[in-house]
């Protein structure tokens, strides 16, 4: 059956699209709100870093939670996190409380990593052979989010005058409510009866290390996410520091996010034709080019081209790594190991976010780009190593 004829897939896609809008908005909001309230310049990216840190510790429990009680309740819970997070961050700005801003981002972090699991939920709703397309199209919903996010940002800026950024945070809460509506009518795959849970995490982790294709697939995804994060997070601050306006920074981020998700409509088909490993390697090359262009200058065109390449490179690396991971998992393993995978990805992104703030405050934009290049080389090599092992090299449960 065609993906576009599946009622449940379309409902999930609609919800994923609406709930993807907060992510590009938070890229802009976190840094700009942080620099207003942070006690020191080096702490300006702390709200975004806290957001990623909380995501690190949330994603595995949320994945296991969804495996036990179902995707619907899990995603509705995540929407509740976003609702609370937007309100707390707005109140933090209104009361000039940096702690509340960080707490709001903490709730948003739990929500965002949970929304990332939509790609796995979509794969569970389609026929075999369509899973790569379902994953990539679901990620492609971020394209709509990228186009809508700046508009939502601009329209909501005047809602809480004169606290310009409080309105966009309240808009995030409204989006959480709107995105939850399609979930109420969607029917997801039932929970797995014999799901592996965090209770046997030590045993499962030992088995994970015995499956090299799974390990290297996770490294590919984590490296792609970390590389993208380390350059993306400080971009608004770097641009404002170079004399560009927050509107110009917002537009660069918009096209970066467009580049992150637009290729998703074809990435699945490319994976089916050429293989996921080749797609990951292409992504790594694009990330390297992004770093080289970022290092070559601080003109507006450098920021645009570098961030666009960064987005496309992340897409190829991340979607390719997700396809590699999914192909190695049995049904009873998915909830736990998808959570482990996204936990490691969140760890990489969190470390990259913390490092980016320190690097750009203490050193230079060029050094941030150099770290991206090093991470991208690691992704490419990891994909080559992963391809050397036999497919479905699994240890029996």
Tell me, what's the pLDDT at 11? 92
Tell me, what's the pLDDT at 48? 82
Q: Which two tokens stand for residue 193?
A: 């009866």
Say yes or no to pLDDT of 15 above 90.
yes
* 120 part of a folded domain: yes
* 393 part of a folded domain: no
Tell me, what's the pLDDT at 395? 41
Report CA-CA distances (Å) from 44 to 117, 236, 254. Answer: 28, 11, 21
Say yes or no to pLDDT of 196 above 60.
no
Q: What pTM did the predictor assign?
A: 0.72
* 197 part of a folded domain: no
Tell me, what's the pLDDT at 264? 82
CATH of the domain at 312: 1.20.1250.20
For 81-85, 224-228, 340-344, which range has the lowest pLDDT when averaged over its residues? 340-344
Residue 202: pLDDT band (50, 70, 90) is very low
Cα–Cα distance measured from residue 177 to residue 307, given in angstroms and rounded to the nearest whole number: 31
Tell me, what's the pLDDT at 28? 74
Query: Which segment, 2-16, 19-33, 272-286, is predicted with the most confidence on average?
Result: 272-286
Tell me, what's the pLDDT at 192? 63
Long-range own/partner contacts, residues 70-75 (CB < 8 A, 24 or more apart): 70/188, 70/190, 70/191, 71/117, 71/121, 71/124, 71/188, 71/189, 72/183, 72/184, 72/186, 72/188, 74/114, 74/117, 75/15, 75/19, 75/114, 75/115, 75/117, 75/118, 75/121, 75/180, 75/183
Domain, as residue range, for 62: 3-182+202-387
In degrees, to the nearest 5, what angle opens at C-alpha 379 toward C-alphas 125 and 323?
15
Tell me, what's the pLDDT at 370? 93
Tell me, what's the pLDDT at 184? 93
Tell me, what's the pLDDT at 336? 74
Query: Per residue in 292-313, pLDDT tens?
Result: 999 999 899 999 999 999 999 9
Could you identify the residue written with the tokens 């065109």?
Answer: 301
Tell me, what's the pLDDT at 201? 46
Tell me, what's the pLDDT at 316? 95
Q: Average model confidence (pLDDT) for the chain?
A: 85
* 64 part of a folded domain: yes
**How many Cβ atoms are within 10 Å of 128's Cβ, its own excluded?**
6
Query: Per residue in 41-75, pLDDT tens?
Result: 778 778 888 887 888 888 888 988 988 888 999 99
Say yes or no to pLDDT of 86 above 60.
yes
Say yes or no to pLDDT of 390 above 70.
no
Share of the chain above pLDDT 90, in %: 37
* 281 part of a folded domain: yes
Name which residue leads in pLDDT, 201 or 5: 5
Tell me, what's the pLDDT at 29? 84
Confirm if 340 and 218 have CB atoms less than 8 A apart.
yes
Say yes or no to pLDDT of 396 above 50.
no
| Helix, strand, coil tally for the chain in percent (to 5) | 80, 0, 20
Tell me, what's the pLDDT at 74? 94
Query: Per residue in 107-137, pLDDT tens?
Result: 999 999 899 889 888 888 877 777 778 888 8
Q: Which two tokens stand for residue 168?
A: 């966009």
Tell me, what's the pLDDT at 397? 33
Give how many domains the chain has, as a whole number: 1
Query: Per residue in 355-388, pLDDT tens?
Result: 887 787 777 888 999 999 999 999 999 999 988 8
Query: Per residue in 164-194, pLDDT tens?
Result: 889 999 999 999 999 999 999 988 877 765 5
Say yes or no to pLDDT of 347 above 60.
yes
């Amino acid at each position: 059956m065609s993906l576009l004829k599946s009622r449940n897939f379309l409902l999930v896609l609609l919800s994923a699209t609406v709930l993807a809008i907060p992510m590009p908005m938070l890229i802009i909001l976190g840094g700009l709100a942080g620099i207003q309230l942070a006690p020191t310049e080096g702490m300006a990216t702390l709200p975004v870093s806290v957001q990623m840190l909380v995501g690190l510790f949330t994603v595995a429990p949320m994945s296991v939670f969804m495996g036990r009680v179902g995707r619907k309740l899990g995603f509705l819970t995540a929407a509740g996190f976003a609702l609370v997070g937007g309100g707390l961050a707005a109140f933090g700005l209104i009361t000039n409380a940096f702690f509340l801003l960080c707490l709001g981002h903490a709730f948003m972090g739990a929500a965002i990593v949970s929304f990332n699991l939509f790609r796995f939920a979509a794969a569970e709703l389609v026929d075999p052979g369509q899973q790569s397309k379902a994953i990539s199209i679901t990620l492609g919903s971020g394209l709509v989010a990228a186009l809508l996010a700046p508009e939502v940002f601009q329209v909501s800026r005047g809602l809480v005058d004169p606290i310009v950024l409080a309105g966009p945070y309240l808009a995030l809460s409204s989006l959480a409510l709107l995105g939850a509506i399609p979930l109420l009518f969607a029917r997801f795959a039932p929970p797995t009866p014999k799901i592996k849970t965090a209770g046997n995490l030590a045993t499962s982790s030992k088995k994970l290390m015995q499956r090299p294709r799974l390990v290297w697939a996770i490294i590919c995804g984590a490296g792609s996410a970390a590389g993208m994060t380390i350059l993306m997070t400080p971009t608004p601050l770097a641009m404002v520091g170079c004399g560009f306006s927050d509107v110009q920074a917002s537009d660069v981020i918009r096209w970066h996010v467009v580049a992150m998700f637009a290729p998703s409509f074809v990435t699945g088909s490319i994976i089916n034709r050429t293989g996921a490993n080749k797609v990951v390697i292409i992504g790594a090359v694009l990330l390297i080019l992004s770093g080289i262009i970022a290092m070559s200058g601080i003109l507006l065109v450098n920021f645009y081209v570098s961030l666009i390449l960064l987005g496309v490179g992340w897409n190829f690396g991340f979607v390719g790594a997700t396809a590699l991971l999914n192909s190695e998992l049995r049904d009873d393993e998915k909830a736990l190991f998808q959570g482990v995978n996204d936990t490691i990805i969140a760890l990489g992104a969190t470390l990259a976010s913390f490092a980016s703030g320190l690097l750009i405050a203490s050193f230079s934009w060029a050094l941030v780009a150099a770290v991206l290049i090093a991470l991208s080389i690691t992704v490419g090599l990891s994909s080559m190593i992963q391809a050397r092992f036999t497919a479905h090299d699994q240890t029996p449960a």
